[in-house]
Amino acid sequence: MDYRKGRYALQLPALQVEGLGYKALLRDSLHAHSLTLESPQLRVVMDKRVPHDSTRQKSLPHNRLSDLGRSVRINKILLRRADIQYAELYAGQEELGTVDFKDLNADIHTVGNDADLSPITLELECSFYGEAPLYLSAQFPINDPGAPFRYNARLEQFPLPRANAILAEAAGFRFKSGMVDELTLNAVANAQQVEGEMRFFYKDLDIQYLDSDSKLVKKILNGVVEGLAFPQENLAGGKHRLGKIHADRDDSRSVFHYLWRSALSGIKSTILLNLVLPEALKHTKVEPEEDGLRH
> Residue 281 in 3-state DSSP?
helix
pTM higher than 0.85: yes
pLDDT tens track, the chain, 295 positions:
788 888 999 999 999 999 999 999 999 999 999 999 999 999 999 888 889 888 988 888 888 888 888 899 999 999 999 999 999 888 877 778 889 999 999 999 999 988 777 899 999 999 999 999 999 999 998 877 778 999 999 999 999 999 887 877 767 778 899 999 999 999 999 999 999 999 999 999 988 776 655 555 555 555 544 444 568 899 988 899 999 999 999 999 888 889 989 999 999 899 888 877 889 999 999 988 778 765 4
Cα–Cα dist 283/38, whole Å: 42
Cα–Cα dist 178/133, whole Å: 17
Identify residue 191 by its one-letter amino acid code. A
The answer to whether the CB of 203 falls within 8 A of the CB of 181 is yes
Q: What letter does residue 213 receive in the DSSP assignment?
A: T
Give the burial class of 227: count Cβ atoms within 10 A of its Cβ; 0-12 exposed, 13-18 middle, 19 or more buried: exposed
Cα–Cα dist 151/122, whole Å: 9
